[in-house]
Amino acid sequence: MIGSIKGKLAQITDDYALVENTGVFYEILLPSALADRLKANGQVGSDIEFKTIYYIEAGDKKSSHYPKLVGFTNSIDREFFSLFTQVPGLGIKKALKSLILPIREIATAIETKDAGTLNRLPGVGGRLAEKIIAELNGKTTKFALSRGDQPLAKKDEKKELGPIEQEAIEVLLQLQYKRPEAEDMVARIVKTNPKVAKVEDLISLIFRNEQQGRG
């Protein structure tokens, strides 16, 4: 178990850092917004310490497994991430991309059973949001009290739509709407109803909106 690595930040990309310690270079996966902040602060070449989580990633073959490290600059973030990834179906890579809200907001959503907010996280659909709440409710209260107000991951502008919105678009395509039209219908509803958590509810809101437009 490697819980912490201290050394010189030799390189940083959009999703990992290379840390040199006594001639050994460690590759550490990072959430994207944290990587951006480290680059913006000009920390390449400086000494740094990452609080790390060591895990084994399965390869393409059942017999192939690869050791990996994921890192954070403070122990609270690491502790939350370790707890967060205990939810079945929420792997390391998906979890890293999902942290587009500050940890305190994610924890608050878990403690208040706000599935709509969790559904805004990339890769977290309605079912996974409910599973996160079922698994972690009552376990994340201290993280909800955190004063940290910066998200660890940045939004992927090329993938703005979450699983619920994408599924609703597919339903509309099956109903013979054109994709640009379907995307516009979904976007208008999500803009005014950001916490909608189920495809059925989203489709119902689209139906009501279309009825009002015709009326």
Range of the domain at 133: 75-157
- Residues 53, 78 contacting (CB under 8 angstroms): yes
Q: Which run of H or of E encompasses 97? A: helix 92-98
**Domain boundary residue among 109, 124, 157?**
157
pLDDT in tens, 137-174: 999 999 999 988 899 998 865 445 678 888 899 899 98
pTM above 0.85, yes or no: no
CA distances from 170 to 44, 177, 184, 186, 203 (A): 44, 9, 13, 11, 11
153 and 168 inside one domain: no
The CA-based dihedral angle spanning residues 100, 102, 106, 108, taken in that order and rounded to the nearest 10 degrees: -160
- Percentage helix, strand, coil for the chain under 3-state DSSP, each rounded to 5: 45, 20, 35
Task: Taking residues 190-210, report their average pLDDT.
Answer: 89
165 and 150 inside one domain: no
150 and 81 inside one domain: yes
pLDDT in tens, 46-66: 999 999 999 887 655 555 677
84 and 94 inside one domain: yes
- Collapsing DSSP states into helix, strand and coil, what is residue 15? coil
Tokens (6 digits) for 63:
């017999």
Q: So what's the pLDDT on residue 14? A: 86
**Domain boundary residue among 11, 43, 73?**
73
CA-closest candidate to residue 72, choices 145, 153, 155 = 153
Domain containing residue 168: CATH number: 1.10.8.10
**Domain boundary residue among 33, 53, 73?**
73
Residues composing the chain: 215
CA-closest candidate to residue 71, choices 87, 48, 90 = 48
The structural domain count of the chain equals 3
Percent pLDDT > 70 in the chain is 93
Name the one residue in this structure whose structure tokens are 């550490």.
28
3 and 35 inside one domain: yes
Domain containing residue 38: CATH number: 2.40.50.140
Task: Report the mean per-residue pLDDT for the chain.
Answer: 89
133 and 145 inside one domain: yes
Name the one residue in this structure whose structure tokens are 């559904």.
119
DSSP 107-155: HHHHHTT-HHHHHTSTT--HHHHHHHHHHHTTT-HHHHT----S-SS--
Q: Which run of H or of E encompasses 81? A: helix 75-84
87 and 148 inside one domain: yes
CA distance 107 to 52: 21
Q: So what's the pLDDT on residue 63? A: 55
140 and 81 inside one domain: yes
CA distance 200 to 16: 38
pLDDT in tens, 86-113: 999 888 989 999 999 999 999 999 999 9
Domain containing residue 110: CATH number: 1.10.150.20
